[in-house]
Structures are given as C-alpha cells and as structure tokens.
Structure 1
C-alpha cells in the first residue's frame, strides 16, 4: 500500500513515526517554478491557521510533473527537481542540472518537542539542513553584531530595540528559506550558548574555582573594592540587577574579571556578549572587543578566539557600566566539529506545524522577488520620502520645529521632511495622540505652514502605548484590547514621576481599527504625512527578561505570546496601512518603524536601526546590518545619522575642542554614508543634529554634509527610478556586493561596501581620523572614480583617498547615471533637463521611471518609463521610446550627455559642456558619442 497521495499542487506523504517527535505527515506544495512549500506535522491533521507573513501562495498555475522512483518521490518544475523520501520524509532540492542546492538533515534533534503554553499545547520546532562548505548565508533581518556572512554563527531572531527580525535567509548559492514561524527562533548553529561556568576557570593567582572578580567603587566613595571568585557573568536583564554584590553601586564603578579559562575542546570558540557601558575583553592578551553602548540600552557583540583543550588561556573583562543601571553577560559555544560544520538549522520556540518555503533564483534578485511573491510587493514610496529628513529627540515646541525648517530654507539646504518625536502630548497623556496646547498652541496652523509656506512634510511619533486611566486607555480597555500584565504589576516608565502604561493588542482586528481611528481623528485629519511607529517590538518594558516580555504581551488575540512574539510589528503596521488606504486611497502610506518582520514591506513601511550609539564603531556595524536587511527582502531602511545616544564628552557641559572636532567628524562620515542608504534621515539626542548646529558654514564638516545633501537631490531621477524598480521589478536599492558580483568569491564576506542601485559603489569611512581606506573593486568590471572620472580595472584591493570631506565613490563601467536639477525639495520642479553621465567601456542601460509621485495610480498602470541604452561597439546612446503615461507627465525635456571613457575621464560637474544634447518628446532618439 502506497503511503503518499498526489495532490493537485503537490504530494502528501504519511510516515511511520519512530519517536513522538517525528513528523506524521510531510506535505510539499508547488507554489511556482522556483518556490516549493514544505510542511510537516506530528499529528493526524495539519493546523489550518493562516500565515501572518505569507499573503498568497496560490498565484497562478504552475506546470509540474510527479513520479515515483523506488522509495523516492520526485517533483519536477521548469527550474527545480525536488525529492522527498517516501519513508524518511527527507527533502532535497536540486537545480535542473542535477546539482544539489539544499538537503534536509533529519537526523539529530527531534523535529517536534511538545510544549505547554498556558492552556495551549504546541511544539518546539527544529529543522536542520546539509549545506556546502563554500556557502555564505545572509538576510534574517537587521542584526548589529557586525557580521555580514552568518556562516558558523548563531543568529538570535528575537525582536529587540536595534534588532529587527525577518525569518528569511538567503544563500550565496542563489536560494532562500522563508521560515514561516512567528515565535522566537535561532538560525545557524542552534546549540544553546554555554555559561562561563562550563569552562574551567582560574583566578589571577592561577588557583582553580573561578575568575578573580573585582568590583571597584567610584573613587569618590572612598571604599575598598569587593574582590571575590566568580564562575559566571550574567547581568543581562533588569531582573539580574539584584545580583550585584550587596552594597555595590554601579555609578562611577569599574569591574574586572581576570584569570584563566580552559576548555575541553580545541578550536575556534565563539563568544556572545550583550553589554552596555564601556567594555573590553582580552583572550591571551589580545583585545577582542572594545566598545561603548549607552547604559540603558545594551547591544550584542560576538567574537571568536582559538582555545586549546586542556590549556590555560589568559582572560580578562573590564567593564565601566557608565550609569546607575547597566547590563552585561558572557557566554560561549565550543567549536563545531565533523558534519556539523556543514549544517545549518532553524529552531523555533513554538508552532503547530513546521512550515517553510524554498525559494530559488538565477540570482539573488530573483530570490528576493520570490520572497515578495509570497509575502507581498513593496510599494513605490512617495517621492518626497526619498529626500532629506530632519529629526531630533525632540522638538519641544511648535516654534522650535518651525524655526528649524525656516533655517533650512534660509540657508538653501534641501529638506523634504521634518519629524516630531514623542512627548508632544501633556506629560501624563501618553497615548492620547493630542498636542500639549501650552507648547503646541496651533498644531493645525503649524502643519499648514509646513505644507503651504515651507513645502515640507511632517512625520509624527505614535507609539502603541497608553497611560493607565487616560480617555483612549479607557476606550481600549472597555473592549478588552489592552495587555494587562504591566497594569497589574503597576510597572512605571521613566517620564516625570513615572506612569503606569501598557500596549494595545495589535493581533486583534478591532484593536487595529481602533488605533487607526484614534490617530486618524487626532492627527491624520490635520494633515500629518507619515507615521513613526516607535517601540514596535513591542517594547513594553525595556531590558526585561525574554520570559517577562512574553508575559507582558500575554495573551494575544490569536493565542499565547510565545507563539506570536515576533509578529507584533507586522500586525500593528498592517492596521495603520489598511486604515489610511481605506480612509484616503489616493495618499501613499509612509511608516517608519523600529522593528520588522516577514511581509512588513507590503504595508508601506520602512525600518530604522533603533537607539544606537554615536561612535565610529557603531557606524561600522550599521553597514552590514542594513545590507542583511536588504537581503531579507525589505527594501527601505535607514539609521539615525550621527547615532542616537552620545557619550558624556559630547553632552555634559561644553565640549572640549578635541571632543567637538571628533563629534563633527563622526557626523560628517555618518552623513556621507547616510546619503546612500534607501532613506536619508538624521536623528538623535542632544547635541542637536541639524547641520548648522553641528558646525559653522566655513567648517569642512558643514561643507561636506551640504555637498552630499545636494548630491542626493541631484540624483533624484536615479533614486526615484530605483523606488519604481522596487515595486515593478521587485528591486533592491542598497545592494550587498554578493548581489551583483556573486561569482567573485572575494565579495562574500565584504561587510562595508555596497552598490547603491546598479551603478554606484559606496565605500563608507567608519574609522576616526582616516584619510584613506582599503576597499575592493569587484572583478569583471572596470571602475570610475565618481569625482574625477579616472578609471581602473577591478578584481583588486586598493587604498582609496578619503579626505575628511569625501567618501570614496566609484561608478561601475557600463553605467548611465541621470542627474536632475538643483532642488530644495523633491517636488520643487520636474526634471526638464537631465544630465546623463555615460560611463563607457561596456554596454550600458538604465530605465528612467516616473509616476504621479504621491498616490497609488501606478498600481493601475499610471506611470512612464524611458529606456536609455549605450552601445559600446558603435559608441551610440539611445534614449528610447517612452512607455506609458500619467496625469501631469512632462511631455518634453532635454538630455545633456557627458561621455566618460577609460582613456578620457571627466569630473562630476553639472556646468560641464555636454558632449551631446538630445531634445526629447517621447520618440526614440540616438546620438553618436566621441
């Protein structure tokens, strides 16, 4: 009797269960030629709960074939061959040439381990895969450990301030796995991290039993340090603050752990360290970590060191907590061995079925297109959103905000958006979404002035948080739409005397409708243009333990928080997007949110990297964080230019001249980098972040920041065309080098260079006082220096000049870069004259995209594209026939062409005499270039 059933769209296999953790059924579904869904269940029937991430996996019919080959069942599509063991349930994916792409490894830990969540039964889930030795792994959202390639590491998929979770991994072999699970998940090497105590520990005196821990008090206290032997370091959460030695005060203190560590394994050990304050770690007298993070918001670091089995290794941690409450923990993993070196896994805390999608493509763009096929397209952002955003924590009055906008306009520094951060309400009215009239006497008048007089948009912060007892709280509470644990525990926040608060349940459709109705009535009707969704992890109580965080959002409308922990941000933003589109279908939604999840891109949402530190080291970590975010299929991302929170030397009293110059340099380098992220936005705590508050006009910091601002606006035809590609071709704006140069194995681990669109190679400078930087020019292309037009071949590492005022920027050979007019804001005037810089040496093409800028008519075909091509052999540039049309479309324009060749460099200069001029009215025109 056969144990499988061929279905209309796949196959269902019944397995013999050997243990309770084995699957009983495995189901494969053909979603498309390149996408296969794999599901497994340990019980008789699959859970029918709909996915929160995947919106429609049944688009269209796909031709596929099925056959039985002994104990193997084979599914063939145009692009894939997929085999499933009829008795084992193991699934293997092959390309059409028969090469293995990915293979399930079902030996080892149980796939399903029963767990009880309150009154609900569920399962812990784990699935392992065999992979090839040379593979690299990316994506998974935004993580700030500085890693680009996650090979050999564990990635913790837990939503947190500055960690954004997207359970979509992509491989350098051009496939991805969308892990359809909403709970806390681990990826990669999913073995549990071990506490320090699992190593053999010796004190400074080399005696066994623990490290020598020294808790030195603030020198002003005049107290002798507390010295003792310790075997563990775990001050990770609020709950652990009670574990410090009795009577020890962190403020002004310094802690060290010194001695020797000994492992029972030989090889590269990996260490994980959440920390705040100043921390340094040495192994064998080598400094492995040296960072600062604000005391109230720890960040994760990972590093590695080789240890020899049975050998003592000198070890030291030095920690200055830099505050009255601070966080630190330390743990490790022994080396992977044998087959585990070529194994990855996903492991999730809770779920009723195993469910993942294998997504294949000829390149990573196709893999990301497959992800969006499953989870929804990313919209074209409103054109103004691609301009410059000015923000600050925070503008405290209406006048302060207006004065900043006026200063930008007076100085003729381009600006599109001003941001009103939190606490514009009365101190005890968080969640009211109402302006405090003593500080904002006429918010309607303010918004009207911004729109009509200053031509700027305004974004406003609206948390999903409510103070106990306010009117909005009562309305949500009456309908049972609030999480009540924090109310029952009377947890107070940090504002004024401290107020008790909670969040609404965004999993409840009624909760989402009520939240939109609240911000619509109080804010959107006044003309607010964009929504800032802070703390959307949800961060109900910062730095609480994970178990407590789950308790604080329990139960959700859908069930236990354990099962849905990571998906809050998706549901919260869904309500705002659907609410605004329902209220005003002609107005493009723009949401900036501090978290992410699979499918977020379909809700008009972008993500920023959270409350990060203002240091060069943190700037360096932003680059791989953003690149992996892009590889997760979410195209719109940004950081707080300048970092959010600053060291005392910058904001406690007048800065020393040295600190001030360091501050200016840090901001200059961050602005340079931020110009070439998908969204260009400055934000942070004091010192104020406006360029005119950073440095005077005659300072090179000011001049550099304004130069790149104006360059961003000149590039608007290029940038807005990229946003068009995001929707129409599932494009990606901020592109890790592996996307365009994956065949060049040198790029697999490059974490601090990227392509901005198809043409610009961006090389941020993230070291203090650097005037040059090493970078790699990818192979199989030549490269032009953007500034002077000089040319060199790729496939080599170079040391590029990086003077204070400039970041190294290169243009790929065979590129067409369109530059528009000088602008003060994105919609100031149409690009009637476009300067086309054509970089010869290879054929080139670019498609100029335009639409109505702020509405959704492009979804109904109201847009136009102009294909522009260059043929190297004939040296001919062709501006092709315009395709499509829309209301208000520019009918005629001029293209001034500047031709740059390997032997004839030309500088980026907008008053340069063009090599050719094309007067264009929509019909194709060609010119020969010399």
Structure 2
C-alpha cells in the first residue's frame, strides 16, 4: 500500500508493522463455514487486517485494499517497496473508518462493508467486486490480475505496471477523456493516454455496470480492451498498481464517489453559462472593444469576450506570456476592461506556461531555477515554468494578479497546458519526447509526471485567486486531468478542424470527459481551422456547418465560439445569410431562456456531485441500445439533444481518392514513387530515401508511416517524390494534393498545384486531360513546419467526375433519433409525445434540430436577455412535461462570489404530482442579499400548440411566489 495522499513513502512491511494488526488466526470453524477473521495464513498467502482495510502477500507481491467510503476502495499492488516521494496530486480524500468484516471460505477471502464485497482469490490475489446482494460489478483477470516490474528511470527506482479486468460481454465502458475521437464506448479500443493538443486525458473508466475506476498514476499509459480482458499499462508507477474502485446504484453515485476522492466542483459565475466570443486573435484594444460594442448594438447576447495571445508583444520576442500588455496596441488595459464591464460583459485573457526570457516574471522564476531549459517552439525565447513547485506556482500567480487580474481581467484561458514545448503538441509520441526532455521537476522526473501538468498549473491559479479575492474563479484549459474540477477549470478539445466529422466527434469526446466526473467542457464552435471551405465565412457550406455547430454548442456546459483565419462573430451573418443568422439568433435565445434551468443544474453539480452534459448510459445504463450511441446526449435530467452532424443543403463532394500503387511507378520501374527526405524546410540536408507504393503519409509511427530515416525531429523537414503516373482511362482528371504544411505538384515539369505555406491540412487539385495508358512524369515537393504532418496524392478519374455530376443528392432534412427505454418523451418543438424504446423521426430544417424532453420534467425558462444577469426580477415560465411525477430545485445566489459556500443562497423545491395534476412549490430555503423576494411564475403544461419551442407560451396560469409553500391545481 502507498500512503501517497499523506505524503509518505514506506515499505509494505513497515506498514504492516505500524498498523497494529490483530493476532487472531485463520477463522474456519470445524464445519467449514465462513467466519470473520483478522488474519489469514495459507500456503503462499498471508493477509492481515489494517485499520481501514487489509493487506496481503501472494506470488511475491504485496497488495492492499483500503476503504475510503462504504462504496470506494483503493487497491495498491507492489513488490514490497513504495518509491513515491510526494503526496498524491489527485486524491485529496483520506481513508474512512468503515465497518467491514473479513471471512474465508475455501480459496476465497471476502472483505465486506454494508455496500461492497471484495472477494480475494488466495491463489492469485485477483479481486472480484460485488454488490451487497452478491451481483458482480467486475473482476480482475483471474490468472494475471497485474504485472509489476521494477525499473530505474532518471536514476530513480519505479515500477512498470499493468492491471487487467475481465469485462462482461455486453458491458459498455466510457471515459478516459477526449481521446480516440468518434466513439463513445471504449470496448475493443486501444487508447494511448497522453495529453495532446486535441487530446484530454483523464484516467477514469466508468461502466454501464455502475462502477468506475480511477488510476492514480501520472506517466504515459495505454488502455486496451480485447476479447480476453481490459488492461491498463503504465510506464512509470512508483507505488505500483494503484487504482480506486467506485461502486454505486447509478452512474451518478459513481461520479459522486470520484468527486469525494478528488474534490468538488465549485460554482462558476452565472455569466459563465452565457456565450463566449473568442478569436485568434483580436489585434488590439480598439478592435476588442469594437467587437464587444457591436454585440450589444446588434442585440446578439454575449457574456464573455476573449483576448487571445500576443497582447504582450509578438510571438518571437522575449515578452511571451509575461502577464504584460503591449503599450502600443493596448495603451490602457484598465480603461479597456472598464469599458467592457460597462457593457455587462466579462473579459477572459489567454496565458501560457511558457514565459518569455525578457520578462520580470521569467527573471524571478530563474532566480529560483524554476524554468526548464528547452525553448518553446514558437517563441524560441520562452521556457516552461515548473508548475510542480509550490514556489513556482506562487510566483506565476503573483504576476497574473499584478498584470491581469488587477487590471480588471475576469477569467484566465490557460493555453498549451499539455504541456506544449517543442511543437504544437499534436502528436502523442512527440509530446512524450518533448515533455520528458524537460528533465526533472520539483516533484520528480517527467516520465512519472508526464500527464498532469495542467492540474498543477490550474491548482496554482485557483489557490491564488481564492486567497486574494471573493470573485468566483473560471479557468479554461486545453488539457485536463483527474481532479481538475476542484480548481474551477473547464477543458476544451483543442485546435480542431472545421468539418462534419469533427463536429460529430465533439459529442462522444465531450461526454467521455464529463462522465469521468469533470463536469465542465467545451470546444471551438465552428472549428479552429477552416481549410475545407474556400471563402470561409462567406461559403454557404460553411455557414450551414456553423449553424449546426452553434446548435450543439448551446447544449455544452460552456458555450464558446473560437477559431482562426476567418471572421465568425455571429452578427456578421445578418447580411451574409439572413436565414442562417436567424437560426443563430434563435439558438442563442434558447440558451439564454434556459439559464434558470442551467444555473440550477450547475448547483446540483456543486452540491450533489451531478453532471450537466451526460452520456445516455448515465441515465439509461440498462438500455443496451444506448451503449454505443455516439451522437446524442442528455443535458441535465430533462433534455435529450441530438445535434445534426451532416450537411443537408450544401452536401460537399466526397474526398478525392488516393492514387493507387497500380497507377504509379518509379524511373527504374518499381511500383510507387521514389522519395528523398531532407532536414530543413528548404531541402537543406539530404537524409533517408524511400519508395512509397502510394503517397498517403502521416508521420510518425505505426499504424501510420515510420519516421523518415535520419530525421531526429519531425518538425522542419522537407521531402521530394518523383516517378510516373499512368492514366487508366481516357478523359479529364482532377489530380491534387492534400496535406499539412506546404506542397507543390508538377506534371511533366509543369507546376499545376501549389500551396507553399505553413498551415493545417487542406486539399487543392487541378484538372488535366489524359489519354488512356498515357504516362506522365510526376514530382511532389513538401515541407513540414509544425502542427500535423500529412501528405496525400489523390485524384478523381473521369468516371469519378461523371458520377459526381450525375449524382447530386436530394435535400434530406429528416433525422432519426433513438428515444431510450425507461421514459416517455416530448418533441421540444411541437410537444408531440413519444413512447421510449423507439426511434422518432423529425424534420430538421436549418432552424431546428432534434431536441426531446423527458416526460416527468419541470423546465424553468427565463426571458430573452443580452447577458446572463440582466433583468433578474423577470417572470419565469415553468413548463411541465406530464406523464410522470417530476421534481426540480430552483437555485439562486448572488451570481458572483463565494458567499454561497457560507449559506448565502436560496433554493425552492418544486414538485409535480402527475396523477393529481398538482404543482407544489415548497417553502424557500435560505436567502442572500439581492434575492428577488416575489417572483411571478407563468406555469403551463406542455401540449401541442402551446409551450412548444423557443417562444414564450401563450396560455399559462400565473402565480406569484413569495417564499411560502404554494399548491397549484392544473389541467390541460
């Protein structure tokens, strides 16, 4: 056992000696019945009782099972020594004094609390986890529950470990964060768990069998599930295998156990649940304020405006993220923030863990040796600070407060927290090399502390803000880790690409973050890179994508627009595409009308450890049809959201196909193209040669292409391929390249395609007329300067082009949605009723998307406002969706401070009795300065023709609530 939470590094034998173990011998009576025992000694197996659990030795391993609650146990296995030198950075809880019993029957020892039973196989040490009624949650692999091998890394002892579970055939497993995008269910997956630009790693697995597992290990890990077992491997685990098993009667109880271990999520300011507008980037103070004013002028609701990077200077000087403002472009930061605040908006500002060499912050960190040696890949004059050092975190925050918060900045956007060092952190393998290359931090080597940098840096800013202000903390971070929720940190999915596939991936990826217990997540609405839509915001196909993406964003925990290159402030579409703009306006009005519902559910996250954005199996784990639904989710207890994730009006052509090996040959007759790699982006130094059967390369590593020979780094290289292409048919071809970064394509010496610039993946093609059998010399040039690495030679043959012309798809706006068993449902737009367990079909024009409400719901809705805290005394519309009893707790506080933690808050329990058609308001509990003492509720039962869609209901029954209990009789 490792007492990492207490900061102790002790051997297993020392633990046994210090635990005050009872001397009672093995307890089997003469008839072989199970009896309670305090110790067990059998051939190859020794068990002793500890204060909060047990410890046993079997097969040369020491294994401990420690209760943290009646439903949560920690399992630790090592070789008798613990090599941690620091306390846990994730688990803040300590073991509870739980009543538990130990008994033995044959080759099994059972450890039982009133909520959990753990059976130990005395031959292998494998554990089986059961409920109090004996049903099995899961079990460790019976033959090989774990492997533990001692290693030495960075001159320090550690273990390389793995542990395995045998899952049930139809069990669904979820979590691990935003990795391997596209699928909700992690069955039959192989996941490399390393932070990247577009990968949020959280080492928590949750099962449809109503249990979860948290691994308290920080190195690179790999999770693999196959037909035999599910295994988690870790490169460096100084305490050995170390995980927490959490059981419940529901997945919400599992999440609650996780938060009990790692810390609760505090309340965000109410305005954090409005709209964020962000762009890479607003270039100066004038433009930032101009955009803020235009939102108010156009009456498009907005709560936060965001200043992205380079407000400190340029990206190549020594001022990088020094918590300073460039005096030429931002001459009056205090005046700028006052002007934004006068618009009832908040200001969020981007900061990085890399600090420019010429800043006061860098100088103070360097005085304590608290920056690492490698230079940041963009600036070349900035280095990452040591967030594992308490002093480093304190110094970092000192300058945040001085340079930003004291100037009026309301929220921090912490970019590059994977941590990004030698590249943009796109590739996991390269990020492993970069982070390990930082060396040793204040807590140990970076092999063992590879993944949780973001947790450490957000913990530092949270602690600093809590110590110096009563204003609620809100932090956005590109990476996350277990425990991040306690630091008021919301994660986002990184620099994603604008296309329909990426939009769909945000759904499954997002709920695989929130199901881990980290409730607040968001993404770049509209996609960060817009490369597949020529003309950007003026392209009708992109406008359709943006409108659908915006609808999805309205049901994210945090609603945020962000991206580069193009303009995307929603009001610009008012003239560009009035129909699409109306869709955006309707969507944002729906988000703001739902703020009483959303803010009340945020209180449930804080007070009762709930989850706002919910994978369908969280609410319907026993409906196996939900286990693999990747594109729909619950939003709070009431809404089932099914975003539109395909084009309906502007269907783009399928991508050009990779030119096959059969159509390519080298000058000496080999199949494919002959390639030459070079170090440097201008063909500077020749490196390895290759022959590629097809040119469809993504670097590095299997199952992708291998690292080019002789290249130590996969940044800043170039390559050239030459050979011949043979036309398989007569006619006009489209031949092109898709890649990142720069490329050129020559046919018979003529340049036909060129995009020689650093940028994300995009495709460009040109048409040529060829005769059947004609051989054309082809030459491709490519350079890689950062970000992704890919290149593909593709074509559309004459047959392909004819098929595209003939097969223009008809517009299809129907969307089918599975409605889970265990509930009945209402179409939000029409109030048409549906039985659960069936698929419903909905017409989804641009201003509508599948949105269903669970029967037995109470949904409070406010007025349309321009910011979240506007018009606090306005009446609320209370929509009742009948068909089952319903309850809802309406929550209010001062929206801004932590006074709610001291009881300055108010709740009203509202109950719908479906049989009696009676609505009951309970007595208001609590109060706070500014509480609206008397509020009008316009109560309505949802029905076709009334209380449907975004508009306020027509026929309602008004009631004035003053805080006393109130009963209201309703009928249809």
Short-chain TM bin: 0.7 to 0.9
Residues 760, 730 of structure 1: alpha-carbon distance in 2 compared, 3 angstrom cutoff: same
Distance 2:175 2:432 in 1: 26
User: What does residue 101 of structure 2 align with?
Assistant: 65
CA distance in 2, matches of 1:186, 1:831: 52
Name the SS of the counterpart of 1:159 in structure 2: coil
| SS of equivalent to 1:898 | strand
Partner residue of 2:497 out of 613, 636, 656: 613
Query: 1:898 pairs with 916, 940, 952, which one?
Result: 940
Q: Which residue of 2 aligns with 1:320?
A: none
1:527 equivalent in alignment to 2:414: no
Aligned residues: 757
Q: Which has the higher contact order (CA 8 A, sep 6+)?
A: 1
Deviations 1:492-539 (A, max 9, x none): 634xxx533220011011110010001111111111100000000001
Among 814, 818, 821, the residue aligned to 1:776: 818
1:158: Cα distance to partner? Answer: 0.3
1:458–1:114 CA distance, 2 compared to 1 (3 A)? same
Q: 1:913 aligns with which of 945, 954, 960?
A: 954
Counterpart CA distance in 1 for 2:112 and 2:286 is 66
Q: Deviations over 1:266-301 (max 9, x none)?
A: xxxxxxxxxxxxxxxxxxxxxxxxxxxxxxxxxxxx
Displacement of 1:46 after TM fit? 7.3
- The answer to whether structure 1 residue 924 and structure 2 residue 960 are counterparts is no
Counterpart in the other structure of 2:177: 141
CA distance in 1, matches of 2:605, 2:560: 20
Equivalent residues of 1:577, 1:589 under 8 A apart: yes
1:555 aligns with 2:440: yes
Q: Measure, in 2, the Cα distance between the counterparts of 1:884 and 1:64.
A: 38
What's 1:567 paired with?
Answer: 452
Residue 513 (1) aligns with residue 394 (2):
yes
**Structure 2: unaligned runs, 5 residues or longer:** 1-24, 26-40, 649-811
Does the C-alpha gap of structure 1 residues 720 and 697 become closer, same or farther in structure 2, counting only changes over 3 Å?
A: farther
Shift of 1:551: 3.0
Residue of structure 2 equivalent to 1:800: 842
Matches within 5 A, 1:338-377: 341-353=227-239, 354-377=241-264
Look up the SS of the partner of 2:400 in the other structure.
Answer: helix
Which secondary structure state, in structure 2, belongs to the residue aligned with residue 564 of structure 1? coil
Tell me: CA distance 1:133–1:912, structure 2 relative to 1, closer, same or farther (3 Å). Answer: closer
Are positions 1:602 and 2:638 aligned together?
Answer: no
Contact 1:144/1:622 (8 A) holds in 2? no
- Aligned counterpart, 1:327: none
Distance 1:45 1:766 in 2: 49
Question: TM-score under structure 1 normalisation?
Answer: 0.79
Task: Tell me how far apart the structure 1 counterparts of residues 951 and 568 of structure 2 sit (CA, whole Å).
Answer: 29
Matches of residues 16-415 of structure 1 in structure 2 within 5 Å? Answer: 16-17=59-60, 23=61, 25-44=62-81, 47=84, 49-58=86-95, 60-105=96-141, 107-108=143-144, 111-189=147-225, 336=226, 341-353=227-239, 354-415=241-302
Q: Does 1:482 align with 2:518?
A: no
How many angstroms apart in 2 are the aligned matches of 1:913 and 1:28?
60
What CA RMSD, in Å, does the superposition of the two structures yield over aligned residues? 1.8
Cα displacement (A) at 1:843: 1.1
Alignment deviations for residues 723-760 of structure 1 (CA, whole Å, 9 cap, x no partner): 10001010100011111112211111001111111111
Q: Secondary structure at the match of 1:483?
A: strand
Which residue in the other structure is 1:194 paired with? none
Counterpart CA distance in 2 for 1:622 and 1:649 is: 19
Q: 580, 583, 588: which is aligned to 1:704?
A: 583
| Partner of residue 53 from structure 2, selected from 10, 18, 41 | 10
Secondary structure of the residue aligned to 1:351 is coil
CA offset digits 1:885-908 (Å, max 9, x no partner): 22221111111111125x876423
Aligned equivalents of 1:717, 1:187: Cα separation in 2: 40
Normalising to structure 2: TM-score of the pair?
0.76
DSSP-derived class of the 2:527 partner: coil
- Say which of 806, 816, 819 aligns to 2:861: 819
SS in structure 2 of the partner of residue 857 of structure 1: helix
1:612-649 CA-partner distances (Å, limit 9, x unpaired): 00111110110000011111111101011101011164
Cα distance in structure 1, aligned partners of 2:238 and 2:390: 22
CA-to-partner distance for each residue in 1:439-468, whole Å, 9 max, x for gaps? Answer: 1111110001111x2110000001011233
The alpha carbon displacement at 1:7 in A equals: 1.0
Counterparts of 2:620 and 2:121, CA distance in 1: 36
Q: Distance in 2 between matches of 1:361 and 1:170?
A: 11
Structure 1 spans left out of the alignment, 5+ residues:
18-22, 190-335
SS in 2 for 1:889: coil
Q: Secondary structure at the match of 1:181?
A: coil
Q: CA deviation at 1:472?
A: 2.5
Whether the 8 Å CA contact 1:149–1:749 is kept in 2: the answer is: yes
Determine if contact 1:4/1:86 at 8 Å carries over to the other structure.
Answer: no
Q: CA deviation at 1:345?
A: 1.1
Q: Structure 1 pair 911/538, CA: closer, same or farther in 2 (3 Å)?
A: closer
Aligned residues of 1:132 and 1:342 also touching (Cα < 8 A): no
**Deviates further, 551-560 or 33-42:** 551-560
Moved more, 348-357 or 44-53: 44-53
Q: 1:563–1:870: structure 2 CA closer, same or farther, 3 Å change rule?
A: same
Deviation at 1:100, TM superposition (A): 1.7
* SS of aligned partner of 2:372: coil
Measured after TM superposition, the shift of residue 105 of structure 1 is 1.5
Larger Rg: 2
| TM-fit CA distance, 1:910 | 4.4
Distance 1:84 1:703, change over 3 A: same
Residue 438 (structure 1) aligns with: 328
Determine helix, strand or coil for the equivalent of 1:565.
Answer: coil
The alignment partner of 1:111 has SS state of strand
Q: Match for 1:752 among 631, 646, 650?
A: 631
What is aligned with 1:456?
345
Q: 1:583 to 1:909 in 2, by over 3 A?
A: closer
What SS is found at the alignment partner of 2:461?
A: helix
Cα distance, 1:398–1:855 mapped onto 2, change above 3 Å:
same
C-alpha contact 1:466 1:502 (8 A) present in aligned 2: yes
Mapped to 2, the partners of 1:596 and 1:105 lie a distance apart of 30
CA distance in 1, matches of 2:877, 2:433: 57
The answer as to whether partners of 1:821 and 1:831 remain within 8 angstroms in 2 is no
| Aligned with residue 636 of structure 1, among 520, 531, 550 | 520
Sort the Cα spacing of 1:546 and 1:460 in 2 relative to 1 into closer, same or farther, 3 A: closer
Contact 2:817 / 2:839 at 8 angstroms: preserved in 1? yes
Partner of 1:868: 910
Q: Which SS does the other structure have where 2:222 is aligned?
A: strand
Q: Deviation of residue 842 (structure 1)?
A: 1.3
Whole-angstrom distance in 2 between the partners of 1:643 and 1:663? 10
- Is 1:68–1:74's contact at 8 Å kept on the other side of the alignment? yes
In the alignment, the residues of structure 2 paired with residue 155 and residue 144 of structure 1 have an alpha-carbon distance, to the nearest angstrom, of: 7
1:4 is displaced (CA, Å) by: 1.9
Q: Deviation of residue 45 (structure 1)?
A: 5.5
> Contact (CA 8 Å) 2:83, 2:158: kept in 1 or not?
no
Q: For 1:647 and 1:810, how far apart are their aligned partners in 2? A: 34
Change (3 A) 1:127 1:106: farther
Q: Counterparts of 1:409 and 1:672 in 2: how far apart (Å)?
A: 21
Cα distance between partner residues in 1 of 2:432 and 2:462: 30
C-alpha contact (below 8 Å) 2:268/2:488 kept by paired residues: yes
* Distance verdict in 2 for CA 1:831–1:760, change over 3 Å: farther
CA distance in 2, matches of 1:144, 1:114: 30
Q: Is the contact made by 2:212 and 2:247 (CA closer than 8 Å) also made in structure 1? A: yes
